[in-house]
Amino acid sequence: MSTVPERSDIEEEYKWDLESIYASDEDWEAAFDSVESRLGEVEQYEGRVTESPETLLELLELEEELMREVSKVVSYARLRSAEDTRDQEYQALSAKAENLSSQASSAVSFVEPELQELDEAELDEFVDEEPALAEYEHYFDDVLRSKPHTRSAEVEELLADLSDVTGAASDVYSMLANADMTFPTVEKPDGDAVEITQGNFTKLQKHTDREFRREVYEQFYGEWADVRNSVGAALKNSTKKDVKLARARNYDTAREAALDGPNVPVEVYDNLLETVRDNLDSLQKHAELKRKALDVDELRMWDLYMSVTGDEGPEVEWEQAVEWVTEAVAPLGEEYQQRMAEGLESRWVDVYENRGKRSGAFSAGTYDTQPFIMMNYQDNIESMFTLAHELGHSMHSELSKEEQPWQYSSYDIFTAEVASTVNETLLTHYLLENVDDDELKRHVLDQYLERVRSTLYRQTMFADFELQIHQVAEEGGALTPDAFDEIYGDLKAEFYANAEVDDHIAREWMRIPHFYYSYYVYQYSTGISAAASIVERIREEGEEAAADYREALRMGGRAYPIEVLETAGVDMTSPEPIQDALSVYDEYVDEMAELEGLN
């Protein structure tokens, strides 16, 4: 019987090194107590932010000192809680850290409203008088830009203080999906039993036995049906929270508020939805290719993850994945490649799934720590590409921290998803061009098509769903599980017009955690489009283009995302990068059809 191991059964070399943050929980407690006791130090500056350039600089330096330590405290607790969501001690630690983060945000909430009492000319005078403030010029620009949407110091403090409460719907969903829900054990065609989990569901949907896939699909979504009302309530309240917070800051819509943070024009979102809709024929051609490869009369939802090549694909063990991913990034320069290799040897990655572990994958860390990558590695090609993806995030953070001061070291998701997808795209080219294994290459090409399907198309469909449910809330409509089903089911039927959409898949919205991150998912789609343009330029122009890309990564948050990508040679205010990526996808669908004899 195949079972998910307990965390204690996994060897240390495959676990991330959280002791590099704090050697023990006791050290974490000491750091927590220290920074909590110091939050009151900022109170002496309230009402004095614009008193003088010297006072402003003192305050900004104190804020940095405190927030850097808060970030470490929060990061450690979050990562510990992700290791095993059943562990109540670490769930309590995480809740305690989130409360500290809320206190810290509240403590400094007066800074920006008071800064906005100055105009651009007055801030320029401050910089002239105190040259050290020059490092904050982009920050000052961003603060003044948001002035129409910043409330009084009292309201800002209240909103900051409520931050841990406004995240409650997401917390409830995460605990339900990762800690409380369990899924049935099913019998594989060879007689072995396997427990369905959030982590292995997609892998099981790639099994060659169609009846087994159907059983897994129905059992999995059957469990979600049992918590339909709870998940529906969580998503309803998360959506309403987005709308209310946007209105509190004088935005017309939640989307406008979310995109204004990174200063991304709303037209970028509209361009994405429109361009993808104009190219649904390519997605449906891919779906038809799957139907032919499976030799079935009708493509069903439990067939969507199946490879066009007709099987699950070769196994890729962890060590092999590490070798190939490291070799693939060579076009980005020796220093980039070596830095990444050293990180993999230094336990950046928590590799394998264990019971209670948070599902999916992510990259995290702070300005004062190494990166940390959570995986649920499954010994397959898809997991290898996920590793490349998360390493792109981690290397972005490393280069940004190396070049930028603390206030600019973090970057917006809009550019983050470019860095991750550049690595994936480079891995595709490397494997197709350098690995002498025709079977692997067939699956890599299939994997490329799947990445575009699941990222550019699927995430855009998610973005459309997110827009529609927020519009319902903004218009005073009712967000019920039935309403979610109807909106999601209609989108799925539109995108997969040549496949059979059933009631189970209409509930797929229930298992998507990103719907609790306001207007987040569209950035996966813009990211893969920008990445395709960047990689093509690097392949054509070599080191000059690679240097531009590395410079864009090093910019961190010193400029707005659209400007950062312009440094790398991409204009995301135009639909052109999206259309180019979809055109390449369409060409590869035709190439795959010819390769498999399915024309």
Catalytic residues: 390
Within 13 Å, how many C-alpha atoms sit on residue 29's CB side? 6
How far is residue 272 from each of residues 65, 253, 461, 521, measured CA to CA in Å? 40, 18, 10, 12
Strand partners, 300: 500
CA count, 13 A, side-chain hemisphere, 399: 28
Q: Which of 25, 32, 40 is nearest to 80 (CA)?
A: 25
Number of other CB atoms surrounding residue 206 within 10 Å = 17
24 by Cβ neighbours in 10 Å (0-12 / 13-18 / 19+) ranks as: exposed
Instruction: Report CA-CA distances (Å) from 408 to 88, 113, 193, 463, 548.
Output: 35, 20, 50, 28, 19
- Tell me if 581 sits within 8 A of 532, measured CB to CB: yes
Which ranges constitute the DSSP H helices of 318-405? 318-328, 334-345, 381-403
Task: Write the burial class of residue 529 (CB in 10 Å: 0-12 exposed, 13-18 middle, 19+ buried).
Answer: buried
Q: What does the DSSP 8-state code read for residue 500?
A: B
* Type of residue numbered 550: R
Residues 6+ apart with CB under 8 A from 378: 199, 200, 203, 353
Which residues, in sequence order, are CB contacts of 541 under 8 Å at separation 6+?
none
Report CA-CA distances (Å) from 346 to 112, 297, 368.
Answer: 39, 50, 16
- Other beta carbons within 10 Å of 251: 18
* Cα–Cα dist 266/245, whole Å: 18
Q: Which amino acid is at 74?
A: V
Residue 279 near residue 586, CB atoms below 8 Å: yes
User: What is the token pair recorded at 18?
Assistant: 């959280």
Distance between CA atoms of residues 92 and 78, nearest Å = 10
Structure tokens at 236: 């309803």
The alpha carbons of the chain give a radius of gyration, in whole angstroms, of 24
Distance CA 219, CA 440 (A): 31
| Residue 6 phi, psi (nearest 5) | -75, 155
What gap in Å lies between CA 253 and CA 272, rounded to an integer?
18
Provide CB contacts within 8 A for 567, sequence distance 6+. 548, 551, 552, 555, 559
Phi and psi at 194, nearest 5°, equal -140, 135
Q: Residue 535: which of 449, 428, 396, 458 has the closest Cα?
A: 428
